[in-house]
Amino acid sequence: MSSFLAAFRGRVLLSRAYGVEARRWMSVRPEEVASTSTARRRKVTIQYLNQLRKAGTPITMVTAYDYPTGRACETHGVDITLVGDSLAQVCLGYDSTTRLTLDEMIHHCRAVARGSKSPFLVADMPFGSYHVNTDEAVRNAIRMVREGGVEGVKIEASFEGVEIIRKLTSIGIPVMAHVGLMPQRHTFFSGYRVQGRTAACALEIAQGARALQEAGAFAIVLEAIPRLLGMYITKQLDIPTIGIGAGVHTDGQVLVWDDLMSVWGGHKAKFVRQFGDVKSAVESGLKGYTKAVRERSFPDDAESYSMPDEEWEKFLKLAQQEGLRGAGDHS
């Protein structure tokens, strides 16, 4: 019983940390758990995203990788939840997003989908899942929608993505495009380098963005391009632009969860601003826990369960009669 209650308490603490409504594990729901409930938000749709764009209201997009982060996006007003292939590095420990498999992505999509109900839910199509041919891209995108529970998919592509987007949108799968720096091609680009700093390269990115819009993309991510180019493309397009290192004049912004929450200990890109400090909280919590365990100050009497003295005495007698080892005094 003690392990069960400890597990329950752990879920309550996690729920508080992320604003998550814990499941009802007991017949009588504790008030402290019930109080974490939040009023249901308006469901974000493509139409609503376009309304935000026309109204000049910046769109917020954040990555999520599991149920707690999905619920955090749900609870705190994020417009678009992105199951990013960055999970390859920040969750699975791979050295590159190109190592992520479709099955791994679908697994994480399912978890996020359970928690993120109101934001529009998009997921990256992993490297290799849409590059062979259009038919395979369609099959894999259908799996992500049907098995993963996402509402749309994101692909990193310029002109070469036009046919894929046309086909996917023709069968009702919304597609978010991604131009500029494409992390899945970091080896080809000799690293994660800013794109569009020359006139020719900037023109190619702008023309590619236009072609992807015409193919049917409902939105487009602009990554690591000069802010003037980000502003220019945003003015030229009729669909929302979501910037990540593209300046403040895009229709919205996206950041990786582990970057904005200061969880990721790797390289910090220039465009990253840390809005939370989860890393320090985790370090402090674990150090404090380890210290308390070593000192035997955890758990104390208030965190332990008692037993009536008469029952304990009866137990000792029964244990002695049964020949149990260690039956001794009350200590």
Task: Out of 223, 311, 313, 322, pick the active-site residue.
Answer: 223
Q: What one-letter code names the amino acid at 212?
A: L
Q: What span, in angstroms and rounded, lies between the C-alpha atoms of 199 and 232?
A: 13
How is residue 45 written in tokens? Answer: 């749709």
d(Cα 244, Cα 16) in Å, to the nearest integer? 29
Rg (Cα) of the chain, in Å, rounded? 25
Which residues lie closer than 8 Å to 53 by C-beta, 6 or more apart? 59, 239, 240, 251
Long-range contacts of 17-21 (CB under 8 A, 24+ apart): 17/68, 18/68, 18/69, 18/71, 18/72, 18/75, 19/71, 19/72, 19/75, 19/76, 20/67, 20/68, 20/71, 20/72, 20/75, 20/115, 21/71
Asked if 82 and 111 touch (Cβ cutoff 8 Å), the reply is no
310 counts as catalytic: no
d(CA 57, CA 290): 46
Task: Tell me the two tokens of residue 265.
Answer: 């200990």
Residues designated as active site: 223
